[in-house]
Structure 1
Amino acid sequence: MSSSGFASAVMNPISEAMSAGRGLLELRDFAKNAEAVKHTADLLKALAQVQVELINKDTEIRDLKELLKLKGEMKFEKVYFYKITAEGKEGPFCPNCWSGSGKVVHLHPAGPLWWDCLTCNVKICEDREESDRRKSEINRRYQTTWFD
C-alpha cells in the first residue's frame, strides 16, 4: 500500500471518530441516551478500525525489515546461496527458489557434486564439466537435445 493509501486508510476512520465525537458533544440533553450510546458505539468502531490498520502496518513493517535483513545475509557461492550470520554459514539453499520467489529452501544431496531442490525440483551440479558431461550423456541416451 502506498503512503497515500496508508494515510487514507488511517484518516478515514479517524474522520469517522471525530464526527462521532462531535455528535456526542452536540447532545446537550442526555435524556437522548440512546443517541449518545449510538455515537459512542460509532466512535469506538472507528477507533477500532484505526487500531486494526496500525497493527497491519506494524506487521508489514516488521516483515519488510526481516526480508531486508535476510537479503543482507544471503550470499551466492559457487552455484547456490548460503545464509551468513553471526553464528556461521548455513545452507546451501536453492538459487532458483531464492531468486524467483524469495523462498529460502535447503538443497538436498543427490550424489557427489549434485544437489536437489524438493520444492522446485531443480537439480544443481557444483562442477560445470560434470554437469555438461551428464547432460550430453542424457541427450545421447534418449536421442534428444532437451538438456541443451
Structure 2
Amino acid sequence: MPDIASIGAALASIKTATDIAKLIKESGTSLEQAEIKLQVADLISSLADAKIELAELQTEMNQLKDKLNQRAALKWVKPYYMIQSGDEVEGPFCPSCYDNNEKMIRLQGSGRNGWSCLTCEGFYKDSEYVQPPPIRVSR
C-alpha cells in the first residue's frame, strides 16, 4: 500500500505535468498543430482524472489510518470498551454497538449502579462503578 508521502508526490507530479501540457497546448497557433493540441487536451483531461482519483485515495487512506489508530487504542475492559491514548483514558463505550456496527457510543452513568447505552439500551454493570455526586447549585 502506498504511503501518504508517495501519494502527495504523485499529486505534485501530475500537477506539474498538467501545467506543462497546458503550456504546450497554448503555445502553437498553426493549423498543423491542431492534432497535437487535441492530443494534449486529452492528456490534460486524463491527468486531471488521475489527480482526482489520487486525492480520493489519499482521503481514504487517511480515514483508514485514523480507524487503525482508533482500533489500536481500543481496549476491552470487561464489560465495555475504553480508548487509551498515553495516560489518558476515554470511555466507557458500548460493546454491543461497537461489536455489531463499529460505532463508538459512549455509555452513560445510570442510577442503577451501572452504565446505560442510549442507542441500543444495553445496561452494563461493573465493580468499579461510582455514582456521580449530585450537582449542587449555589445561590
Question: For the superposition of Structure 1 and Structure 2, which TM-score range results when normalised by the shorter chain?
Answer: 0.5 to 0.7
Spell out the pairing of 1:42-121 with structure 2 (5 A cutoff): 42-121=42-121
| 1:83-142 residue CA offsets vs partner (Å, 9 max, x unmatched) | 001141111011112112222111111213222212223222336xxxxxxxxxxxxxxx
Greater RCO, CA 8 A, separation 6+: 2
Give the match's secondary structure for 1:106. Answer: coil
Whichever residue aligns with residue 53 of structure 1, its letter is: E
Structure 1's consecutive aligned runs of 4 or more residues displaced over 4 angstroms after TM superposition are none
Task: Please identify the structure whose Cα radius of gyration is greater.
Answer: 1
| TM-score, with length taken from structure 2 | 0.62
**Which stretches in structure 2 are left out of the alignment for 5+ residues?**
1-20, 128-139
| TM-score, with length taken from structure 1 | 0.59
Question: Greater helix share, 1 or 2?
Answer: 1
Contact 1:96–1:122 (CA under 8 A) maintained in structure 2:
yes
Q: Percent identity?
A: 32
Whichever residue aligns with residue 58 of structure 1, its letter is: Q
Aligned-CA RMSD value: 2.6
